[in-house]
């Protein structure tokens, strides 16, 4: 009996050249916060070396995984081909799971803005909002991302990911007595 052949399109890494060549070392790594390695160890994303030389290599692999939309098996093959690391599929999956808090810190550090110094208050001023993230390949919403900006400190406060069914409410944020909140009508 003949077996039907259905060609599938294999995603390429052509849109990820900066992560493959020397551009990553010359332009990407210097733009990262100075305490990246310390935070990676503190937040348990890079506890043991085991196949990866530095936290910047882990970040490089995570970015390639996100940009190329590959599985952890394909990520492992890519890392071996460019000489980055030789880790199993399950080892890459575990690295991805443990990297969440570190990536949250990195996002906050990279999105730091100048604090608002002209505020006539010693209390924190926090801008709160949420947005929907779409699933890849589907038309329906997948997750809701809750975030806040600490305007007095000039940095991202917190980021929480929930399901699409979870609504916008203030329980997602670590509030302190005296905080001044700026939010839209979804938080009424």
Instruction: Indicate the burial class of 154 (C-beta count within 10 angstroms; 0-12, 13-18, 19 or more).
Output: middle
The three-state secondary structure class of 50 is: coil
pLDDT digits (tens, 9 = 90+) for 41-99: 998 888 877 788 889 999 988 888 877 777 888 888 888 888 888 888 888 888 888 88
Is residue 136 over pLDDT 70?
Answer: no
Closest by Cα among 13, 112, 6 to 66:
13
- pTM exceeds 0.95: no
Which distant-in-sequence residues (6+ apart) come within 8 Å of 36 by Cβ?
55, 56, 59, 106
Task: Decide if 168 contacts 112 (C-beta within 8 A).
Answer: no
Say which residue, 8 or 93, is predicted with more confidence. 93
Whole-Å CA distances, 136 to 24, 66, 101, 143, 165: 26, 11, 23, 11, 18
């Amino acid at each position: 009996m003949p077996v039907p052949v259905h060609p599938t399109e294999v995603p390429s890494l052509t849109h990820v050249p900066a992560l493959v060549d020397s551009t990553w070392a010359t332009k990407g790594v210097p733009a990262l916060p100075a305490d990246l390695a310390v935070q990676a160890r503190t937040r348990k994303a890079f506890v043991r070396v085991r196949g990866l030389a530095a936290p910047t290599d882990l970040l490089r692999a995570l970015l390639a995984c996100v940009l190329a939309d590959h599985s952890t098996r394909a990520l492992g093959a890519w890392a071996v081909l460019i000489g980055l690391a030789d880790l199993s599929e399950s080892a890459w999956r575990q690295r991805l799971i443990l990297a969440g808090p570190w990536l949250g810190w990195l996002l906050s550090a990279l999105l730091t803005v100048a604090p608002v110094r002209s505020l006539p208050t010693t209390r924190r001023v926090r801008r709160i909002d949420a947005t929907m993230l779409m699933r890849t390949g589907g038309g329906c919403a997948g997750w809701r991302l809750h975030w806040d900006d600490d305007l007095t400190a000039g940095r991202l406060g917190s980021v929480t990911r929930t399901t699409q069914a979870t609504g916008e409410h203030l329980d997602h944020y670590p509030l302190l007595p005296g905080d001044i909140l700026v939010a839209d009508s979804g938080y009424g």
